[in-house]
Structure 1
Amino acid sequence: MRKLTYPLIAAILMIMVSMVPFGTSTAQDSLPIGGKGMFLWHLWTANGGGKNLNTVITKLKSVGVTWLVIKMGDGDSYYNSPNHSLYNWATSNYGSMDSVVAVFHANGIKLLAFQYVYGVPHHWGNPASETDVANSILDVKGIDGLLIDAEIQYDILTTRVAAARAYCDSIHAHHPDAFIGLISWDSITGHRTFPWTTFLDRVDVNMPMMYWAAKSTTPQNILSFMSGQFTYYTKIWVNQGDSAAAKPIMPLGQGEYFGYGNDVRQGDITSFCDLSQTKYNYPGVSLWEYSQISHSYVWNEYAAAWQVTFVSAESNAPIRYNLSQNYPDPFNPTTTINYTVPKNSFVIIRVYDILGNEVTTLVNEEKSVGNYNVQFNGSNLASGIYFYSMHAGNYVETKKLILMK
């Protein structure tokens, strides 16, 4: 009998008290970001010192970028404190980081932060902890989320699981509604000792780094490898009862030459975006820019890629995965669950009791594109609260149902 692990049980209990579950709202259409994004490592050094945000914003908007990620923390070092460049740049030009966020919001662009984390106390000799930095970042008024860049130290750190859990749980305790992502490796087998499920259980999205040119390969090859890795291991995690570790994937691509390997070639960005959208059904992509993307073809290809797919009003074909609330609810003894599948996928729908024990498997097969429904019969069960969960590709969703006899 399968049994859910503690993280999902905790998430289920939070659903019961109508709280927003940290790291369990994984439906792709519920993500606050999607489409095209940009990682700008040093915003304040871009475009002549970044003193004119309009220059940065105009460039981002010209290629369809709707969300920007900037570096705001490095371990125990907070880049919005008076001794750091980000603080000096923001205060001298805009008054505060709150104001910088407001400028981006006024232009329809969401602003998120990323933080390098090492799991080592006082990594840079500062009195603050990594959780202090994370929570300080999320205290910035209007900030749209935090992305965790867990460094390679987590592969060898003896306290890695405890460190990852404590870091994420502190964020959850102080900012329970915050959007949190993991900037991850593209290879799980290459980082077997990394605490994958500890982090993935506690975030909303997984962002593997796709540095194909630096690795002298192609976007096609690296996407295929990465997708295979996460598909294979996610099935293992789910079958072991850790459904919370299955998170939507939003790949992070290479936008410029990193100083090793090959340069980004013409056609790379087009392939990266098109495959991510059409073949793998990822909800979005982003490019990483360390300083300044110098190739015009990178910008041009990014502008042309990731077109919104329009579906006519007459079409009944679903455009995204969805698991609907059962009806009727409460029910006795049967209820119907509707779900949609936007592309051929292997679909699993299971029902669990309040302790996380599997009650039954309703669906466990390949499904073609379409709208479906399945009935759940609780005639042999006691009255109470149950949960049903759907897994299909990178999509995971869990909902509550009530059997009342």
Structure 2
Amino acid sequence: MSLYGKGFMIWQLARCENGNGVEVARVARAAGLSHVLIKIADGPYTYNVDRTTRVDLVPPVVQELKKNRIQAWGWHYVYGSNPVGEAQIAAQRVNELGLDGYVIDAEVEYKQPGREQAAKAFMAELRKRIPNTPVALCSYRFPVLHPQLPWKAFLDYCDYNMPQVYWQAAHNPADQLRRCVNEFKNLAPYRPIMPTGPVYSAGGWVPTESEMVEFLDAVREHNLSSVNFFAWDYGRKGLIALWNKIAAYPHPIGPQPADIPEQYFSLLNANKPAAIANLYTDDAVHITASKTVQGKEAIQTWHKNFLTNSFPNATFEITSVSGTGSTRSFTWKGVSPSRGKIENGNDTIGLIDGKIAYHYKYFKIT
């Protein structure tokens, strides 16, 4: 299930509209939220279950959200000391609650030595139990600063990336989001980014209303389909001005056009050379190590030959994307059952009015 629009994370459900599902759904609808993400587990244990009565507070809220056509996702703080147990409780909660998606919150504990194997065990068990549920990773905003975290082990099995773009102790949300997006575009595997912004205070710091608008503007500028905020608990109480600013912001709910590299690879995987040619200007140039062709018809012929003869029945995957404005650079890989692999694809394209004007393509089939 695709995710678009604005969402809020709930930490302690009893502190959010007193845990009343009808009120949570009403407030979410009034704020224009497309989804709400509720904490459902902590480590190998359930969360948002009343400690005294053992009543699960989550089901009636999920029920009311769904009645109002608002997606209900669950999030889960994981530690890595019991990865199989954590995956089992995650799958149990997703299945019994009928959730639309699941979010992994992996932070400092997963930077300890040996946690890559824990992440692999967790993800393998999780995907065995919920193979069709959308899964996202919600962790640090700058992966370059946290190389110890097993990013690939998590992202290999995830559908989305929801980095915590918390500009705590600073006042430059757009710059931080830009850096976040660029770093993840250079980290394989790339997953669609749906950033999580801060609605909390810390040590005297609190984001301002103007910063919240700047952050949301930057989300739209990067054509990111969805944005989340942590947390409802704070926004509806001490930080109501921030809540209201987010509620008033018209972030679109609905699919946004994919960027040119994503469109191109989607059509490659669909084996549609004519549609691929329509991505180019009339006099576009396509350059490879062995041949240069010009014009839509010639570009269509090249792609038809490539997909039919040179590398038939292939599947392709983008591994990184960089560039904005009129240029894009991207790396990619592909597999053809009869012809082998491409593991070093490296392309650069130039755009005019949203169409490809030139395309430098490098690859080697092995």
Tell me by how many angstroms 1:307 deviates.
3.5
Q: How does 1:375-394 map to 2 (within 5 A)?
A: none
Partner of residue 207, structure 1: 162
Tell me by how many angstroms 1:356 deviates.
10
Q: Does 1:118 align with 2:85?
A: no
Contact 2:171/2:211, CA 8 A, preserved across alignment: no
Partner of residue 106, structure 1: 67
Tell me by how many angstroms 1:319 deviates.
5.8
SS in 1 for 2:234: coil
Contact 2:25/2:64, CA 8 A, preserved across alignment: no
Tell me by how many angstroms 1:215 deviates.
2.7
Q: Does 1:216 align with 2:170?
A: yes
Q: Which amino acid aligns with 1:133?
A: I
Partner of residue 265, structure 1: 208
More displaced 10-residue stretch of structure 1: 173-182 or 323-332: 323-332
> Size of the alignment, in residue pairs?
313
Q: In 2 relative to 1, CA 318–217 (structure 1 residues): closer, same or farther, beyond 3 Å?
A: closer
Name the CA distance, whole Å, in 1 between partners of 2:355 and 2:313: 17
TM-score (norm 1): 0.67
Partner of residue 231, structure 1: 185
Tell me by how many angstroms 1:297 deviates.
3.0
Partner of residue 275, structure 1: 218
Q: How does 1:176-325 map to 2 (within 5 A)?
A: 176-212=131-167, 214-232=168-186, 234=187, 237=188, 245-257=189-201, 259-278=202-221, 280-289=222-231, 291-293=233-235, 294-308=238-252, 320=259, 321-322=262-263, 323-324=266-267, 325=270
Name the CA distance, whole Å, in 1 between partners of 2:339 and 2:6: 37
Structure 1 gap segments, 5+ residues each: 1-30, 91-96, 123-127, 238-244, 312-316, 387-405
TM-score (norm 2): 0.74
Structure 2 gap segments, 5+ residues each: 274-303
Tell me by how many angstroms 1:268 deviates.
1.5
Name the CA distance, whole Å, in 2 between partners of 1:191 and 1:288: 21
Match of residue 23, structure 2, among 46, 51, 55 = 55
Q: In 2 relative to 1, CA 114–356 (structure 1 residues): closer, same or farther, beyond 3 Å?
A: farther
More displaced 10-residue stretch of structure 1: 351-360 or 259-268: 351-360
Partner of residue 106, structure 2: 150
Q: Does 1:46 align with 2:16?
A: yes
Q: Does 1:34 align with 2:4?
A: yes
Name the CA distance, whole Å, in 2 between partners of 1:189 and 1:115: 24
Partner of residue 350, structure 2: 367
SS in 2 for 1:68: strand
Tell me by how many angstroms 1:189 deviates.
2.5
Contact 2:48/2:56, CA 8 A, preserved across alignment: no
More displaced 10-residue stretch of structure 1: 143-152 or 286-295: 286-295
Name the CA distance, whole Å, in 2 between partners of 1:356 and 1:264: 54
- Once the two structures are superposed, what CA deviation does each residue of 1:99-130 show, in whole Å capped at 9, x if it has no partner? 432211110111111111111139xxxxx921
Contact 2:36/2:72, CA 8 A, preserved across alignment: yes
Q: In 2 relative to 1, CA 362–151 (structure 1 residues): closer, same or farther, beyond 3 Å?
A: closer
Partner of residue 3, structure 1: none
Q: In 2 relative to 1, CA 121–264 (structure 1 residues): closer, same or farther, beyond 3 Å?
A: same
Q: In 2 relative to 1, CA 46–191 (structure 1 residues): closer, same or farther, beyond 3 Å?
A: same
Q: How does 1:318-357 map to 2 (within 5 A)?
A: 320=259, 321-322=262-263, 323-324=266-267, 325-327=270-272, 332-333=308-309, 344=326, 345-348=328-331, 350-354=333-337, 357=340
- Once the two structures are superposed, what CA deviation does each residue of 1:135-168 show, in whole Å capped at 9, x if it has no partner? 2112224211110011311111x32111101111
SS in 1 for 2:55: helix
Q: Which amino acid aligns with 1:64?
A: G
Name the CA distance, whole Å, in 2 between partners of 1:310 and 1:204: 18
Contact 2:6/2:251, CA 8 A, preserved across alignment: no
Partner of residue 55, structure 2: 88
